[in-house]
Amino acid sequence: MMMQPLAVFSLDESSDARAAALAAAFELPLVEAGGLALKSSREQHHFFRNFLERLPALFFIVKAEALQLASIDAHGVRAISAGFHDPVITYRRAKGGGRSEMIAKAVGLKGQNIPSIIDATAGLGVDAFVLASLGSRVTLLERVPAVGALLADGLEQSRRFALENDPGLSLILGRMHLVRSDAIEYLSRTLQADAPDVIYLDPMFPERRKSAAVKKEMQLFHQLIGTDMDAEQLFESALSGACERVVVKRPRTAPALAHRSPSYSLEGKRNRYDIYLNS
């Protein structure tokens, strides 16, 4: 079942204007909670609970350094954000393997071939960033408004950081273009005029089990998005629109999307990439 954010919390005065704009855009109540960031996690949990109608719940947290989407239940608060200049993603950019990564091979990044890509299920944009860091121009499509807000904020925060600290990062981010749109509608409007070389899909699939090992990002995404019930329709739209190939990321043991056999697959320990060639 999909959940919707219930409120926007601004945790410092410098974030009040951004928080107010976000609250207005989502038609949510705004709570200005300056100084809360300095409180303990237990105090924060108690504060949030006092302003929310029910548990579990989702809500936005606006800080100077990031916009977060948070989940709260009786046990605590978990939060995710988007961004492209933290130590983890910076390390992957520097040490991740470049064109030897499976995702690079899957989209056909080889030699002088640098394909244009539509990431039709952008999420927090990590895969799109990896592809842009290898030279591709990537259009990121995200239809869930809350996720789109996180992604837009992450791009903006990273662009500001890059302007002062990392010219190479600025070039990468310049190759990433966010479109907050339903992918099926977007593909139907644009592909006839400007088809990409590759369409990349990473649709949500049902959780097989609840476990502490399940990443917090996936737990929150399942709460917010549920399952992509129209994944097969999106897949068919992609097959009719990509010039060269459609790439579908799947759990390693999952069946092929729409039970349609790929041209070939690349398999890792947890995931695989099914490649459907159009040419």
- Across the range 16-43, mean pLDDT stands at 90
What is 87-277's CATH superfamily?
Vaccinia Virus protein VP39 (3.40.50.150)
Domain boundaries, the chain: 5-80, 87-277
pLDDT at position 213 over 60: no
CA distance 55 to 65: 27
The structure tokens listed for 108 are 């056909």
Q: Of 49-53, 91-95, 240-244, 274-278, give the range with the top mean pLDDT.
A: 274-278
Q: What is the mean pLDDT of the chain?
A: 88
Q: Please tell me what DSSP assigns to residue 98.
A: G
The structure tokens listed for 270 are 């947890």
pLDDT of residue 217: 61
Q: Which has more pLDDT, 3 or 271?
A: 271
Which residues, listed in sequence order, are joined to residue 118 by a DSSP beta bridge?
Answer: 139, 199
